[in-house]
Amino acid sequence: MKTEHFFSRFQNSFAALVIPIAFVIAVFVYFFVMGASSNFQGNDSANSPMQGNYLGIIYKGGYIVPILMTLLIIVLTYSLERYYTIKKAYGNLAPVKFVGRLKTFLAADDIAGAKAECDRVQGSVASVAKSTLDKYLQMELDPVMTKEQKILDIQKNIEEATSLELPSLEENLPALATITSLATLMGLLGTVLGMIRSFAAMANAGAPDSVALATGISEALVNTAFGIGSAAIAMVSYSYFTTRIDKLTYAIDEAGYSIAQTFAAKH
């Protein structure tokens, strides 16, 4: 229990630190890696990038680039964290198979065996099932409550146990959903700023400033690509993890329903 509490606190602290750490990393990479003088003609970041040097090209995307890089790092970090957490929540056996084995134990009226299986499998579904089985045994020994009251108490236990499990599974997913829209908007902002610079270069009297024109177009395209790419990764991650959580939720509901129905049938 202490280990799980420590892990939960570590997750909360980690999630809060990801944003500032990601921003610092993004700024460092932007100025000192992409903005390195060796990436540009004449060893000067004010000049055009060396031909085929993508770091220099991205650097010319302007100051929106570090923000988009921050969002991308956050998406990748949260995705890895969610993958580990949800994988742990699945336990040592696929939820559908676990529910099938649980029903087998219930059909044989082997509550002790069902609890042992929960301890072996672990994960969110097994955790809720074990809590419900404990309530099952408690209701069997209760001489006061009616059968209907006992069933309602078991169902209430299922709902409470589920409400404790789901928030930890859905943590950081709202951030991924937000970044899906935010990255697109930030990319669009960078695109607009780049186009403003391009038109300003074309508005010069006489020959347009070709360097400023190229820089403006580069800024527009780089930010567009970064914004769309980050948003796409966030969207795919969010959809993937919500689907996995939906499967867990279905398995939890099925396990709880089976336990409640078994109690109703055998008592």
Does residue 137 form part of some domain? Answer: yes
- Sign of CA pseudo-dihedral 87, 68, 58, 239: positive
pLDDT at residue number 1 = 43
Question: b/e map of 145-182 (b: 16 or more CB within 10 Å)?
Answer: eeeeebbebbbebbeebbeebbebbebbbebbbebbeb
Does residue 4 form part of some domain? Answer: no
pLDDT at residue number 139 = 86
Does residue 139 form part of some domain? Answer: yes
The separation between CA 117 and the C-alpha centre of its own chain, rounded to angstroms, equals: 29
Dist CA 117 CA 137 (whole Å) = 16
Which three-class secondary structure state does DSSP give residue 40? Answer: strand
pLDDT at residue number 48 = 77
Does residue 253 form part of some domain? Answer: yes
Which three-class secondary structure state does DSSP give residue 146? Answer: coil
pLDDT at residue number 2 = 44
Q: List the domain range (segments joined by +) for residue 112.
A: 76-267
Q: Which of 215, 225, 226 is nearest to 193 (CA)?
A: 215
Question: For the chain, what is the domain count?
Answer: 1
pLDDT at residue number 208 = 59
Does residue 241 form part of some domain? Answer: yes
Can you tell me which residue has the tokens 């409470």? 160
pLDDT at residue number 70 = 95
Dist CA 71 CA 263 (whole Å) = 50
Does residue 33 form part of some domain? Answer: no
Does residue 16 form part of some domain? Answer: no
Q: At what angle do helices 210-266 and 123-140 cross, to 10 degrees?
A: 20
Mean pLDDT by 10 residues, the chain (267 residues): 49 75 94 90 82 84 90 94 91 89 88 90 90 88 83 88 85 91 90 79 62 69 88 94 92 88 82
Does residue 130 form part of some domain? Answer: yes
pLDDT at residue number 9 = 56
Nearby residues of 15 by Cβ (< 8 Å), 6 or more positions away: 78, 81, 171, 172
Give CA separation, 88 vs 2, 72, 126, 236, 253, in Å. Answer: 17, 24, 12, 20, 19
Tokens in use for 43? Answer: 């060893």
Can you tell me which residue has the tokens 């939960």? 8
